[in-house]
Chains A and B, each alone.
Chain A
Amino acid sequence: MISSQAKDSIERIFYKAAQARLPMAPGDVCDIVPIKPGSVAGKGAIEARAKDGGATQAGRPQAPTGQVVVLTISGILFRLMLLLHFNEDDSTRDYFVKDDAQSTFGEIVAEISNLCCGAMNQELLRYFPDLGMSTPYMLSAQCVPHLENLKPSYLSSYAIQLGDSVYVAATLCVCAAAPIDFVADVSAVEESSGELELF
């Protein structure tokens, strides 16, 4: 029910949002590789891509650990769910948590996921004028394989590498109530974030 150009568009929008909002510093490496849904992101996925030189279905079939941040964007005809998995290891923690922060790891990654999903929301608003976004929620990573039960029209996963050694797994899941077709132009440079617009 979702046209292939719409699927490509959604993916492009996700890439743009992830590259804009996940890295802590603007110049940081942000490498995104498609993977088989449900697999764990890690060095494996990124290295496999380097070997094959193309998008691979690399991922080790093991039980997912840790938690994912879940967000939903709802439109009239569809809903899009974004699930981001962050390894709660030292390199990830060092990357995201600032020294004097009083928030927990969970709260920090929830906010980053919120920004990423917010960027996707802004971009999608150009094509779907009626959209709303939920607040983030943490679920066990073991919930991710059950996305199939929602009977999605589009389900895809990605392995993301930030900086040297931070790995994030992302899953996009879209359920559509009617045919969806659109073409996204992500070439527009984003200028308006962070600036104060006075009324």
Chain B
Amino acid sequence: MTQSYLVAALMGSVVTAIVAYFLHRFYAAQATTRIRVEAHARTDALAQTQARRTEETGQEEQAKQELESAIVDLRDDLARQIATTDEIRVALKTAVEEKDQWTQQARQIADEASRLKSLAATFERWHEQMISLMTQNQDMHAKNHELSAIVRHVVIVSLNASIEAARAGPAGRGFAVVASEVRELAARSEELSKSYRNSLHRNDLTTTTTFQDIQAGGKMITASLGSVEALANQLQSKLH
């Protein structure tokens, strides 16, 4: 019994082995096919990838060239910018120097205006002299007035003389003529004195109005110079 068992078992295992062998070969073939397919696929994929990579490399190459040319452009731009900046720097320096000059000139204008304002002292000096002139004029008025009084007195004296001459009769005729001439002279002196008084009044008016014009004119100039000085100071502070 054990022998047939063993033979059966052996036959069984041989069959199994043969089946297994054929199965194995079948599966191996399948596996091989599968592997082959996979390998093909992989190869295809690799080829695709390779192609893509090549394309990409081409693109990158292109990009790199574009970047390089962009860099060249940028370098040119930068060079131009640097040149422009240098020009601007020079212009700024010039402007700053000019500004300094203008500031200095504005200060000079302000100083000059300030100095000219002291002209006011000149006008005050002239005022004193005007007072002196007017005082002299008053003096002349007074003297003329006195002269006038004397002349009037002379007229009275000559009238009295005429009366005395008349009283003296024919003997007084010569005296009467003299008295009459004196009266004539007195009348002319009176006229002259009036004319002189007139001239003095005209002189007073001209002197007074001239000096008032100088006084008022001086103030006007001082005020105008004050405006100039203020403007120059404003300009100075703006330039700072």
Contacts and interface: CB of A to CB of B under 8 A. Distances in A.
Direct A–B touching, Cβ under 8 Å = yes
Interface residues of A, number: 25
Interface string B163-183: 000000000000000000000
Interface string B216-238: 11111111100000000000000
B208 A139 contact: yes
A79 B201 contact: no
Given A140-B201, A143-B202, A134 B220 contact: no
Which applies to chain A's interface (DSSP): helix, strand, loop or mixed?
strand
B205 interface: yes
Interface string B111-154: 00000000000000000000000100000000000000000000
B206 interface: yes
B204 A76 contact: no
A113 B224 CA distance: 25
B213 A79 contact: yes
B212 interface: yes
Contacts of B108: none
Contacts of B189: none
A132 interface: yes
B208 to A, nearest CB: 5
Interface in A113-167: 130-135, 137, 139-140, 142-144, 146-147, 149-150
Given A135-B215, A140-B201, A140-B204, A150 B209 contact: yes
Contacts of B215: 72, 132, 134-135
A137 B212 contact: yes
Contacts of A79: 209, 213, 216-217
Contacts of B204: 139-140, 143
A100 B224 CA distance: 41
Nearest to A71: B212
A198 to B, nearest CB: 19
B187 to A, nearest CB: 19
A75 interface: yes
Contacts of A71: 212
Nearest to B131: A137
A146 B202 CA distance: 6
Contacts of A137: 134, 208, 212
B220 A146 contact: no
Given A132-B219, A134-B216, A72 B202 contact: no
A25 B154 CA distance: 52
A73 interface: yes
20 contacts: A70-B208, A70-B209, A71-B212, A72-B209, A72-B213, A130-B224, A131-B220, A132-B215, A132-B216, A132-B218, A132-B221, A132-B223, A137-B134, A142-B201, A143-B201, A143-B204, A143-B208, A146-B206, A147-B205, A149-B206
Given A134-B212, A137-B134, 7 more contacts: A74-B219, A81-B209, A131-B216, A134-B213, A139-B204, A142-B198, A147-B205
